[in-house]
Structure 1
């Protein structure tokens, strides 16, 4: 599961990293504790260029009766994307990149859950594979939502949790965004765990458990 993450960069850095030709982000500041239900930056491709906008984290399928279902759809298991009604349409035609520079996971230890931040050793931005959908309420309100695709853990993550987000190599991002690719089998090779030797994990303070805490203290290493 991926239930919290960080994206501690400026809007200008996001635009440069993804070479976005069209930007529809009303406001962005560094985020240290992104939580489900919030608006998050996302990248899609319109067939010609990358577009940077925002989606609400928690996917609401077009057929849903109530938008509240999104609270249960923050993650999508890579192994069952073509089986789940909520995701089998999106995997074929509505894929996005969810930029991040770290994510949090809680490790069960001695009857407690201790939060860890996991990131690339390089400290670089990376792209989590995402799915998105558009839902229209009975009153005509339109909601654009997303979910993070998850996979089995690498050896680093296995010590912390039994799932991790699908982190895409830069060279694979264009394939994930390519709307012409509608056969899920062509994407299966992307669902492997990211190499553990390129990642690191460190314990952080329990204050990240409260989404109201969104500041640089969230990402500081906990003193041992």
Structure 2
């Protein structure tokens, strides 16, 4: 799964990278510990171009009467996304790119201690995760929400966790956004072996209040 991630890119850099028009409500960057229900920057196809906009991380299906009316849907499994009532319309028509610099995963240590790892592109290039989104409203409350698509882990990541986000290389961005015809289902696969690197990081990241540069530094155990 993907339950926390990092985004070091300022809005201007993301707008250039994706050739997208930025909205004026984007979350501040850098961010070293993005948690569920935080606002995140995403890229969507809009008209003849792209928009960089903010969305709440935690997908809300249209039948939820309130944000807490059901499970917090931060991830959508690639294997079942087209079948699940919550996600099947979004994966057909509302796909997005979720910029990141890396993500966290945890293993178990002695006495069930949670040991955090930072996983990032081996070349430290920007990482782009596949997402789906949904505009949700109830009464006068309106939210744009997003879930990150995950697949079975591979390339060594499975030693840390059985799941990982679907990571899209630049050549796949147009198809995922629906700009280059059909075939997005074929993109929901694990990143190639050797494309990611990882290291242990400070357990301070376990707190959702932590957000500082040293969180992604290698942790000397």
Which residue in 2 is equivalent to 1:198?
195
Please say if residues 25 and 52 of structure 1, whose CA atoms lie closer than 8 Å, have aligned partners that are also in contact: no
Change (3 A) 1:114 1:66: same
Change (3 A) 1:6 1:26: closer
Q: CA deviation at 1:12?
A: 1.5
3-state SS of the aligned residue for 2:118? strand
Ranges in structure 1 where 5+ consecutive residues have no aligned partner: none
Ranges in structure 2 where 5+ consecutive residues have no aligned partner: none
Whole-angstrom CA distance in 2 between matches of 1:219 and 1:206: 11
Query: Deviation per CA, 1:18-49, whole angstroms, max 9, x where unpaired?
Result: 11134333442200000001000000011311
1:46 aligns with 2:46: yes
1:155 aligns with 2:155: yes
After superposition, where does 1:125-144 map in structure 2 within 5 Å?
Answer: 125-137=126-138, 139-144=139-144
Change (3 A) 1:123 1:91: same
Q: CA deviation at 1:169?
A: 1.1
Whole-angstrom CA distance in 2 between matches of 1:70 and 1:10: 33
Which residue in 1 is equivalent to 2:77?
77
Please say if residues 96 and 177 of structure 1, whose CA atoms lie closer than 8 Å, have aligned partners that are also in contact: yes
After superposition, where does 1:35-184 map in structure 2 within 5 Å?
Answer: 35-69=35-69, 72-110=72-110, 111-137=112-138, 139-178=139-178, 181=181
Q: What is the RMSD computed on CA atoms of the aligned residues?
A: 1.6
Which residue in 2 is equivalent to 1:217?
214
Change (3 A) 1:147 1:205: same
Change (3 A) 1:13 1:130: same
Please say if residues 93 and 179 of structure 1, whose CA atoms lie closer than 8 Å, have aligned partners that are also in contact: no
Scaled by the length of structure 2, what TM-score is found? 0.94
Whole-angstrom CA distance in 1 between matches of 2:27 and 2:91: 28
Query: Deviation per CA, 1:48-83, whole angstroms, max 9, x where unpaired?
Result: 111001000000011222211475200000000111
Whole-angstrom CA distance in 2 between matches of 1:85 and 1:20: 30
Please say if residues 76 and 147 of structure 2, whose CA atoms lie closer than 8 Å, have aligned partners that are also in contact: yes
Scaled by the length of structure 1, what TM-score is found? 0.93
1:189 aligns with 2:204: no
Please say if residues 22 and 52 of structure 1, whose CA atoms lie closer than 8 Å, have aligned partners that are also in contact: yes
